[in-house]
A and B are shown apart, each in its own frame.
Chain A
Amino acid sequence: MADNLHWQLFAVFAPLSLLSVGGGQSVIPGIEAEVVGIHGWITQQQFVEFFAISRAAPGPGSLLSTLIGWKVDGLSGAVIATLSFFLPSSLIAYAASLAWSRHHDSAWHAAIERGLAPIATGLILSGAFTVLRSSSGSASVWIIAALAALTFSLLPRLNPLPVLLAAGLAQVAVRLLL
Chain B
Amino acid sequence: MNETDAGTAEPAQPPPTAGEPVSLVQIMLLFARIGITSFGGGLSAWMYREVVDRRRWLAEDAFLSGLTLGQILPGANVVNLSVYIGQRLRGGLGSVVAVTSLLLPPMIAVVVLGAVLQHFGDLPWLHDLLEGIAAGAIGLTFSVGLRAARHATSRNRWAPALVLGVFALVGLLRWPMIPVVLAVAPIGVAIAWKKR
A121 touches B152 (CB 8 A): yes
Q: Is the interface of A mostly helix, strand, loop or mixed?
A: helix
Whether B30 is near chain A, meaning CB under 8 Å from some CB there, is: no
We find that the number of chain B residues with CB closer than 8 angstroms to chain A is 111
B132 touches A97 (CB 8 A): no
Whether B12 is near chain A, meaning CB under 8 Å from some CB there, is: no
Whether B156 is near chain A, meaning CB under 8 Å from some CB there, is: yes
Whether A125 is near chain B, meaning CB under 8 Å from some CB there, is: yes
Query: Which interface class (under 10, 10 to 19, 20 to 34, 35 or more) fits A?
Result: 35 or more
Whether B24 is near chain A, meaning CB under 8 Å from some CB there, is: no
What are the residues of chain B within 8 A of A150 when measuring CB–CB? 139, 143
Whether A111 is near chain B, meaning CB under 8 Å from some CB there, is: yes
What are the residues of chain B within 8 A of A59 when measuring CB–CB? 35-36, 38, 43, 102-103, 105-107, 109-110
Query: In the assembled complex, how far is the CB of residue A111 from the closest CB belonging to chain B, in whole angstroms?
Result: 4
Most buried by B among A62, A94, A125, A144: A125
**B interface residues (Cβ-Cβ under 8 A, vs A):** 1, 4, 35-46, 49, 53-54, 60-62, 64-80, 83-84, 87-88, 92, 95, 99, 102-103, 105-107, 109-111, 113-114, 117, 124-125, 127-149, 151-152, 155-156, 158-160, 162-167, 170-172, 174, 176-178, 181, 184-185, 187-193, 196
Identify 15 residue pairs between A and B in the complex whose beta-carbon atoms are under 8 Å apart, listed by A's number: A17-B75, A23-B76, A53-B114, A56-B130, A58-B38, A78-B111, A89-B75, A101-B88, A111-B189, A125-B163, A135-B138, A148-B137, A149-B139, A149-B143, A160-B136
**A interface residues (Cβ-Cβ under 8 A, vs B):** 17-24, 49-50, 52-63, 66-67, 70-71, 78, 82, 86, 88-90, 92-94, 96-98, 100-101, 104, 107-108, 110-132, 135-136, 140-142, 144-153, 156-157, 160-161, 163-172, 174-176
